């Protein structure tokens, strides 16, 4: 939360493909560029100060890992946005059963499928697996996982994961 006067303002477009990591990089470059443009006026003490509207201010708490746990009751759109937001830290995650033991699965990339999951399907249930991804029922819609990381393993595309694993009919939690 920063309530001081604004010395320079720049806008950054957020695309539907941006992740927390890509947005960080965009803002870092934009901030450096904006600072370089503002420095001469700051040095000459001719910069125009603009007071912020404190009514529009909001507090952003520090992220923690627990926030990144996927709630499969949410819509596919909400979960996909969370996957993008938590990439690259703390990384969205859920649990699955590996040899009858719970194991963590980190989700790096996912997309929303244009199909409805039946309301009779349990949110988190894996509906299909293919080289294109792992399709999971959500509270509203279907999410396709396209890049993931099993516990203790490297980040990988779904086809590589499926070479040694299957999640079909499991319910992710």
| Residue (of 14, 21, 16) closest to 108 by Cα position | 21
- Tens digits of per-residue pLDDT, 150-166? 999 999 999 999 999 99
Q: Within 10 A of 89 (CB to CB), how many other CB atoms are there?
A: 11
* Mean of pLDDT values over 134-150: 97
- Tens digits of per-residue pLDDT, 10-37? 999 999 999 999 999 999 999 999 999 9
| Residue (of 30, 35, 34) closest to 13 by Cα position | 30
- Tens digits of per-residue pLDDT, 97-112? 998 899 999 999 999 9
For tokens 């959500």, name the residue. 138
pLDDT surpasses 70 at 1: no
pLDDT surpasses 70 at 118: no
Q: Delimit the domains of the chain by residue range.
A: 1-60, 65-162
Beta bridge partners of 135: 128, 144
Give the pLDDT score at 66. Answer: 94
The whole-angstrom separation of Cα 124 and Cα 145 is 12
End-to-end CA distance of the chain: 34
- Give me the percent of the chain exceeding a pLDDT of 70: 97
The whole-angstrom separation of Cα 173 and Cα 163 is 22
* Mean of pLDDT values over 65-69: 95
Beta bridge partners of 171: 125
* Mean of pLDDT values over 129-145: 97
Question: Is domain 65-162 in CATH 3.40.50.300, yes or no?
Answer: no
pLDDT surpasses 80 at 126: yes
Give the pLDDT score at 61. Answer: 85
Beta bridge partners of 142: 113, 137
For tokens 């890049």, name the residue. 147
pTM: 0.88
Q: 117 falls in which pLDDT band (50, 70, 90)? A: low
Give the pLDDT score at 54. Answer: 83
């Amino acid at each position: 939360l920063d309530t001081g006067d604004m010395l320079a303002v720049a806008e950054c477009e957020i695309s539907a493909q941006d992740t927390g990591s890509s947005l960080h990089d965009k803002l870092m470059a934009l901030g450096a560029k904006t600072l370089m443009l503002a420095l001469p006026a700051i040095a000459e003490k001719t910069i125009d100060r603009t007071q912020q509207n404190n009514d529009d201010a909001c507090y952003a708490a520090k992220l923690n890992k627990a926030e990144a746990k996927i709630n499969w009751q949410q819509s596919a759109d909400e979960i996909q946005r969370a996957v993008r937001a938590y990439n690259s830290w703390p990384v969205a995650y859920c649990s699955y059963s590996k040899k009858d033991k719970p194991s963590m699965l980190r989700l790096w990339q996912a997309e929303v499928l244009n199909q409805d999951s039946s309301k009779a399907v349990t949110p988190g249930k894996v509906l299909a697996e293919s080289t294109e991804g792992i399709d999971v029922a959500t509270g509203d819609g279907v999410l396709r996982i396209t890049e993931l990381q099993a516990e203790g393993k490297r980040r990988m595309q779904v086809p590589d994961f499926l070479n040694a694993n299957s999640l079909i009919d499991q319910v992710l939690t």
